[in-house]
Structure 1
Amino acid sequence: MNQPQGQYPPQQQQGQQPGAFQGQRYPILLSTMNDLPGYEVVRVFGEVFGLTVRSRNMFSTMGAGFKAMAGGELKGLSKLLSDSRHEALGRLSEEAMAFGANAVLALRFDCNEIAQTASEIAAYGTAVYVVPHTQR
């Protein structure tokens, strides 16, 4: 976990790829922890979500079926799941920032299959505003 540094929200650094902020992939801190050592939660905005639904293409599904018979990692499906999680986290970050949050705590994921053709990925957590203990 990257501890927050400097001003919130972190500013994108010159020359960094879009979405990369002070060594973090998202513009606010995302943590599965319920608290943040060295920081105090000064405002709780409530639960926020980031959702995405993705369908698998026919060729990927067929290839995964053949690969499943032989055994081994289903790389196409692993990439789909990873991309979906990042999209859900990006949407979660946007929703939290719309409330004025600079962090999301107690982050969790939920995955469901829809009609055996698509996957829903939900990222959810509690949007908060944190400050270092020294800035009380």
Structure 2
Amino acid sequence: MILVTTEGISGKDLEMLGMVKGSTIQTVNAFRDIGAGLKTLVGGELKNYNEMMNNARALATKRMVEEADAMGADAVVCVRYASASIMQSAAEVMAYGTAVKFR
């Protein structure tokens, strides 16, 4: 499956199939959250949260690709990511785009 952020794919004539999306809500465990809270006192990178968000993006992308596959798509164009805080230390990540088939 080809994933691009552009509206088209160079050299390809595209048939639009429709919007596809994938999402997940992720959180870190309570002990890691406490450690991250303490880290805010001294500053620095919150590696557990980076890992959580990377995993969430990967899962959301996988679910978007599965939805595109089910539609018979060859690619997804205009891929975008959005995130939102659901509650303290929990975030939703959504991947979305337009499923297309090559003509």
Please classify the TM superposition score into its range, dividing by the shorter chain length. over 0.9
In terms of fraction of residues, the more helix-rich structure is 2
Q: Secondary structure of the residue that 2:38 maps to in structure 1?
A: helix
* Shift, 1:117, TM fit: 4.1
Where do 5+ consecutive residues of structure 1 fail to align?
1-27, 132-136
Identity across aligned pairs (percent)? 39
Give 1:115 deviation, angstroms: 2.4
Deviations 1:90-122 (A, max 9, x none): 000000000000100000011011122421000
Q: 1:117 to 1:51 in 2, by over 3 A?
A: same
Matched with 1:19 is none
TM-score normalised by structure 1 residue count: 0.72
Instruction: Give 1:47's match in structure 2, choosing from 6, 11, 19.
Output: 19
| TM-superposed deviation, 1:123 | 0.3
Give the residue type in structure 2 aligned to 1:105: V
Tell me: higher relative CO, structure 1 or 2? Use CA pairs within 8 A at least 6 residues apart: 2
Query: Quick one: which of 38, 63, 66 aligns to 1:66?
Result: 38
| Structure 1 residue runs of 4 or more that deviate by more than 2 Å after TM superposition | none
Q: For 1:61 and 1:117, locate their aligned partners in 2 and report how far apart those are by CA, in whole Å.
A: 7
Using the size of structure 2 for normalisation, the TM-score is: 0.94
CA distance in 1, matches of 2:50, 2:60: 15
Q: Secondary structure at the match of 1:86?
A: helix
- The structure richer in strand per residue is 2
Q: 2:6 aligns with which of 21, 26, 33?
A: 33
Distance 1:57 1:81 in 2: 14
The CA deviation at 1:130 is: 2.3
Q: Distance in 2 between matches of 1:33 and 1:109?
A: 13
Matches within 5 A, 1:36-115: 36-41=9-14, 43-115=15-87
Structure 2: 5+ residue runs without aligned partners? none
Report the alpha carbon displacement of residue 38 of structure 1 after superposing the two structures with TM.
1.6
The residue identity in structure 2 corresponding to 1:51 is S
Count of aligned pairs between the two proteins: 103
2:90 — aligned with what? Answer: 118
